[in-house]
Each structure stands twice: as structure tokens, then as C-alpha cells.
A and B are shown apart, each in its own frame.
Chain A
Amino acid sequence: AQSVTQPDIHITVSEGASLELRCNYSYGATPYLFWYVQSPGQGLQLLLKYFSGDTLVQGIKGFEAEFKRSQSSFNLRKPSVHWSDAAEYFCAAASGGYQKVTFGIGTKLQVIP
């Protein structure tokens, strides 16, 4: 079955520290991959997406993600976290001919001073 796994439910980092959120996928072929962010009581906002080509993808708000086929991973990174980055982060994947996106369970990011 197709699935997206985010092994870390909750992560706490200090402001200014680097961040890496993990995501693994299980699909028959390489799916399209996304990272979304959700602030409390809000909808989801797309941070970045990977379809093909360069395996290092740049997104909004200073985020980047690296696709590693050998590890079936698509980890999200940011070199220096800001307090405003505190939110829930969802990795997602899609395949096939229509926009059926499967979301991971999410990682809640807490940023401490």
C-alpha cells in the first residue's frame, strides 16, 4: 500500500538552530513529493515540491528538501529556524493521473528561545 511516514511526531529546536524533518515514502514508483506547513487553526500551505530533476529542491521561507531515491526519503531542512516556523509540517505524496495526495501524520515543530 502507498504510504508516507514521518517518524518524528514532535520536535523541539532552539531559535537559530538548524532543522531537519524526516519523511519516508512507500510507493511502487517514485511519487510526486510535497511538504506542507499548517499553523494552528489554519489551512495548509505548500512549502516545496519535487517531481523530477535536481534532487535538492528550494522552497519558500528558506526551506529546502532533498530527495534520495536509495533511501525513499524526502527530508525537509532549514539552516536557521525562526520562532515563526513553529507549526505542524506534513510530508505528502501523490501518484497516478489525479490529484490524490496522501499526507503523512505530521511533525509538530516547537521553537524555543
Chain B
Amino acid sequence: DTEVTQTPKHLVMGMTNKKSLKCEQHMGHRAMYWYKQKAKKPPELMFVYSYEKLSINESVPSRFSPECPNSSLLNLHLHALQPEDSALYLCASSQSVGRVTEKLFFGSGTQLSVL
């Protein structure tokens, strides 16, 4: 299994809603990532988890809250989002962090629309 699975594929939410994005991998990877990709823009790193601990937060607003319950799962909890947060949210994993040679495996993303 060389897949990173993200659910849901599409999500529409209001600015007062609370929702969660989920990401799962069963490749035994110990590093997991959240990226945000706006339309016609490159992916931008949000968070990195290494061995289930948050190792990088790229100054992301607190309305985005990541969680890594175990080595296979990564969640992104969303609360009080703004319309400008509408984007494709990509999850990725790699065998470990700290070694740039590691290949990133990406999920197909969750397309989020905030109304």
C-alpha cells in the first residue's frame, strides 16, 4: 500500500462551523505533513509531524489545529475559518523527517470551500 488517503474529498463549510480533515497512510512513514494549495498557486507547507510530535508550524493561524493521534493518522481541525481559507489541503508523508532525500507521498487532497 503506497497510498495516502484523504477524506473528505470535498468540504463546504460556513465560517462558524467546526470540521476536520483526515489523512491516513499505512506505509510505516513517521513524518506527515499538511500543505495548503490555493488555486493556480504552488503548495505551501503548514505543519510537519515527526514521530507523532509537531515539529514544524509555519506560522499557521490558530483556527487550523493539527492532530496526530497515531503514526498512521493525521487530522486537521478547522474552526471559524475565513473565505480566504478556501483551498486544496494536501496531506503528505515520508519515511522520516530530517533527511531531505526522503520522497514525499501526497494524498489527492480535500477541496475546501468556506462560505
Chain B contact residues (Cβ within 8 angstroms of A): what range? 20 to 34
Q: What are the residues of chain A within 8 A of B55 when measuring CB–CB?
A: 98
Q: Which of A46, A99, A103 contacts B99 (CB 8 A)?
A: A99
The A/B interface has a contact count, at CB < 8 Å, of 64
Given A41-B109, A46-B104, A98-B48, A106-B97 contact (CB < 8 Å): no
- Interface locus among A13-21, A65-73, A88-96: A88-96
Closest 4 CB pairs of A and B: A43-B106, A103-B42, A44-B106, A94-B100
Determine whether the beta carbon of A99 is less than 8 Å from that of B100. Answer: yes
A interface residue numbers (CB < 8 A to B): 32, 41-46, 49, 51, 90, 94-101, 103-106
Q: Does B11 contact A (CB under 8 A)?
A: no
Q: Which of A32, A90, A99 contacts B42 (CB 8 A)?
A: A90
Cα distance, A97 to B99, chains bound together (Å)? 6
Given A44-B90, A98-B56, A32-B101 contact (CB < 8 Å): yes
Can you list 20 A-B pairs with a CB-CB distance of less than 8 A?
A32-B100, A41-B111, A42-B108, A44-B43, A44-B104, A45-B106, A46-B103, A49-B103, A90-B43, A95-B100, A98-B55, A98-B97, A98-B98, A99-B98, A99-B99, A99-B104, A100-B56, A103-B43, A105-B41, A106-B42
Q: What are the residues of chain B within 8 A of A101 when measuring CB–CB?
A: 45, 104
Q: What are the residues of chain A within 8 A of B94 when measuring CB–CB?
A: 99
